[in-house]
A = this chain, B = another copy of it.
Amino acid sequence: LKDIKVTLIGLGNVGKPLCRLLAEEERRLAERCGVRFRLVGVCDSAGCAVDPEGLDPLEVLRAKEQTGSVSGLAGAGRPGMRADELIRTCGAQMLLECTPPSLPLGQPGLDHIRTALEYGMDVVTANKSPLAVAWQELFDTAERNGRQLRFSCAASAGLPTIEMGRFLGQCDELLEMAGVFNASCQFILERMAEGDTFEEGCAAARVGGFLEADPAMDVDGWDVAMKTVIQANAYFGAAVHLDEVACRGIRDITRADLLEAEAKGEKWMMVGRARKDGDRLILSAGPERLPKDHPLARANWCDKALYLKTRTQGEQIHYCLGASASGTPGSVLNDMIAIGQSR
């Protein structure tokens, strides 16, 4: 059994269900995957909890719920302790970066990943923004320190296509990728087509719990743009920056636009796209009007879809069907297992 000390930064939409998953899956991980993850540190915005022997993930959640912060955990709580100090002192072998995305600088997640890699830790990030603004630097740092930096859930949202896309890109087989990666945008567009205003659509998405804390991330296209950058870099072996994406949100799509598309047998989809033009990559994130029978337009609002145009394997379409609450933390866990088994 490989015993791996991990530290978790961020106890929000990803961090909390991840704690639950670590508790629920502990036995399977030991029996079937040969790994044990020992949670030696956890950090939220008000402080940390630390225990070199390992915190109980369920107690972490209880403290968060009852006191508002993990730093309220009896014995282990460290009110006011910051992530940076935790990473330097907790002795973990793996960082789980689960703070919310933040643009244009990708902070504080970017610094968390930098520090962890320099302290010899492997990193799994659910936070897209550091990768979208500092890809080359972070992977250089990882390589220099002989560490892994994995990001499955920061790409096509749980559709596990990273290894496949990398293989195709390595063989110069991939010509273009395009995807539907953002449920909130698709949900809002569908509500608007049914008669809701943009604001009503947003409100309904918020009630459904699938609008980012900062809705601009979704509706202004930044979430899709970040996922496009990350996948383009992974698949094409590139190192593009978020600035290189022509990014447009859905705020200026009107009900008239939606009805006009409907009348012509078309549908507005929020699409991230990267295609090769010689040695350059042309990147975009924004609404596109597609024929209803286009493979991407066939995705329901809660599906994720990735379309690949290849040199010899024709056109491919990959769907993850239906929103799965466990998809994001599950994807973080898969990366943790893959790293754990390779160590």
Contact = CB atoms under 8 A, between A and B. Distances in A.
A163 B163 CA distance: 6
B321 A318 contact: no
A103 interface: no
A21 B160 CA distance: 30
Interface stretch (A36-44, A284-292, A322-330): A322-330
B338 A170 contact: yes
A49 to B, nearest CB: 25
A216 interface: no
A159 interface: yes
Contact of A313 (B314, B316, B324): B324
Contacts of A330: 173, 310-313
B158 A161 contact: no
Contact of A322 (B315, B318, B338): B315
Contacts of A171: 33, 333-334, 337-338
Contact of A338 (B33, B161, B167): B167
A72 to B, nearest CB: 29
Give the interface size bracket for A toward B: 35 or more
B341 A321 contact: no
Contacts of A33: 171-172
B337 A314 contact: no
- State the main secondary structure of chain A at its contact with B: mixed
Contacts of A170: 337-338, 341
Contact of A319 (B310, B316, B329, B333): B316
A295 interface: yes
A339 to B, nearest CB: 10
B333 A312 contact: yes
Contacts of A324: 312-314
Interface in A249-263: none
Contacts of A173: 160, 330, 334
Nearest to A33: B172
B321 A315 contact: yes
A320 interface: yes
A166 B160 CA distance: 11
A207 interface: no
A172 B341 contact: no
Max chain B Cβ within 10 angstroms of own Cβ: one of A313, A320, A327: A313
B326 A158 contact: no
A156 B338 CA distance: 24
Nearest to A308: B160
Interface in A183-237: none
A128 B182 CA distance: 39
A28 interface: yes
Contact of A312 (B314, B316, B322, B331): B331
A313 B341 CA distance: 20
12 contacts: A33-B172, A160-B164, A163-B163, A163-B167, A164-B164, A170-B337, A173-B330, A310-B330, A312-B330, A312-B331, A314-B323, A314-B324
Given A171-B333, A315-B321, 15 more contacts: A32-B172, A160-B167, A160-B173, A167-B334, A170-B338, A170-B341, A172-B337, A311-B330, A312-B324, A312-B331, A312-B334, A314-B321, A317-B318, A317-B321, A318-B318
